[in-house]
Structure formats: structure tokens, C-alpha cells
Amino acid sequence: MVTAFAPASVGNITVGFDVLGMAIANPGDEVTVQFNDRKEVRIVEITGDGGKLPLAAEKNTATVAIISLLQHLGSEQGMDVTIHKKMPFGSGLGSSSASAVAGAYAANELLGAPFTKNELITFALDGEAIASGGRHADNVAPCMLGGITLIRGYNPLDIITLPVPDNLHCSVIYPEIEILTKAAREILPKEVPMKDAISQIGNIAGFVSALYQNDLALLSRCMSDTLAEPYRATLLPDFEKVRNAALYGGALSFGISGSGPSMFAFSDSAAKAGQVGELMKKALDRQGVGNMVFVSKVNEKGVVII
């Protein structure tokens, strides 16, 4: 029996729509896998989902990832799977990716680790596609590998792990409202003005440079999104209030995590990140919006066996 923990992740990181992602320390999902003699992958239990997730193996991100792995090996080995959901659905924190990553990693470990973490990403993407309708790696890659990742391309899959400044900390707030990924994608324009594309290119190039140079001042100047945030912010009625609270607290930047509703801020110390988290929480508390705050450094481990 093997249990894996896969952490939440922040997709896009403001300037990298669909190509940047990072892992945070918590929350996350746990998946336990053990052999059975039935020559099938089956879900024996799901906890923490409020009965929302299907027990059919072909409809769950964790088990689809496991089935994909076994098929690639040409194996008929059966597995019983238990899924412990420990993060909210539709949060913009990569919940479906976490289950897919934990499932693939636990199954791989149970089989003697025939695949590397990088190789497992393909199977986790098969699982992620069940939930999102697409093979998006901006949550899967950092969840699996940890740290901050850049997806350069998909054909072939080309993932680059970027350096993480030692004093870079992240505050994430999840407002208890639901934003469907489909709706968050549909609100985006099909075309953008050339000046907006140029601005985004400059910012993502500057962001990557800031990581390599350990230059948080440069990072702060680069954290401006012209492609998605101006449109997705309209789905978050308290976006400006939370943003103002974070920046007032000394945050380096503020943005939307993935497609939302979670939002995140970078800070240059653990103390400041804690303060920023408290101020963001107070901003939502004043609006009567339930919320959860998570503060940590960037998680450089990714998925682990527990």
C-alpha cells in the first residue's frame, strides 16, 4: 500500500497564461493505492468530496491517470484506490491535477518506480483532461515536480523548472464562491491587441529573468497581466478590495490563481506574507464572504510519498 500527497498549485502566475505554474505547501490531495487480484482499477472510497465525485474509475482524474500508466506498461495489474480530497473544488488551485498527480505517482511507486516524475506528467495529463477537457500542464507540472515551472510547448511536451528565490513567499486566499473554468475561459477574448501581446511578452521574459537573478524588485514590476486578469477580475466582485489590502500590506504583487476564484500575492519574507494573508482575509470577512488563507514558500518538492 502506498499513499502520495500532491500539493495545490497556482496556474498562470499572472504573466504566464497557460504556460507558468507553481506549487504551494498546502492544501493538497492524498491518494492511496494497493494491489488487487481483479485485473481492474477501482475506487473503493472517496472522502472530503461531499459525494460530488464519481466512483467510476473511468471518470475520476486519479484513476484515469493510473489506467493510462498501466496501459503504457501493457500491465493488467489491478489496483484499489482511495482518494482523500483535502482541497476545495473549483478553487483555482489545481484540485483535479492534484488527484491525477497523486494517483499516478502512488501507482508508479507501488510498481517499483518504472517512470521518472517527468515521464509521469503525461499520465497525469490524461487524468486532468477528464476534468478540464484539455491537457493543460500549468497545474500538473508544478504539482508533480514542485517549484515554478514553464511549459515551453506540448509537441513534444517541454517543461522547464525555473529557480525559486529563497525569500519568495506566497499568500493564497480562497473565497468560498464558485467559478467554473469553462466560464472563466469563455469570458476571454479570442484576439488581443498587439500592444497587449507585446506587454505580456515583456513581462513574462522579465519574470523569468527575475527568478534567475534573484531580483524581487524586477519580479514585482513584471507582475501585470493584459491577457486574462482584466476579464476574469469581473467574475470576482471583491477583487479590487482584496488586491488593495494585499498591496497595502506590502505585497510584491497580486493576481488571480488559475481561473479563480482563489487569488495570490507574492511577498519577500514569511512575516510579510503572513501579514498580507491576514489583510486579504479581513477584506473578505468585511464583505461577509467565507474564505481560507494559505501561506507558504514555494513548494519545491511537489508530490511526495507519505
Question: Is the Cβ–Cβ distance between 25 and 146 less than 8 Å?
Answer: no
* CB neighbour class for 43 (10 Å; exposed up to 12, middle 13-18, buried from 19): buried
DSSP-derived letter for residue 256 is E
Pairing status of strand 148-154 against strand 157-162:
antiparallel
What does the mean pLDDT of the chain come to? 95
pLDDT of residue 133: 72
SS3 268: coil
Q: What is the pLDDT of residues 168-209, one digit of tens each?
A: 999 999 999 887 777 788 889 999 999 999 999 999 999 999
Q: Of 82, 128, 149, 229, which one is the catalytic site residue?
A: 128
On whether the pTM is more than 0.85, the answer is yes
- Listed in sequence order, the residues at least 6 apart from 3 whose beta carbon sits closer than 8 Å to its beta carbon are 30, 31, 32, 33, 106, 305, 306
Q: Output the DSSP codes for 57-91.
A: GGGSHHHHHHHHHHHHHT---EEEEEEE--S-TTS
181 catalytic per annotation: yes
CA 127 to chain centre: 14
pLDDT digits (tens, 9 = 90+) for 87-130: 887 889 999 999 999 999 999 999 999 999 999 999 999 999 98
Question: Can you give the pLDDT at residue 52?
Answer: 86
**In which residue ranges of the chain is pLDDT below 50?**
none
The pLDDT of residue 288: 95
Domains and CATH numbers, the chain: 2-162 (3.30.230.10), 169-297 (3.30.70.890)
Main-chain phi, psi angles of 133, to 5 degrees? 85, 5
> By the 8 A CB rule, do 291 and 236 touch?
no
How much is the pLDDT for 173? 97
In this prediction, residue 183 carries a pLDDT of: 75
pLDDT at 134: 74
- Which string of b and e fits 250-267 if b means at least 16 CB within 10 Å? bbbbbbbbbbbbbbbbbb
Angle at the Cα of 271 from the Cα atoms of 270 and 275, rounded to 5 degrees: 115
149 is catalytic: no
Q: Is 167 exposed, middle or buried (0-12, 13-18, 19+ CB in 10 A)?
A: middle
Q: Which of 30, 181, 226, 229 is catalytic?
A: 181
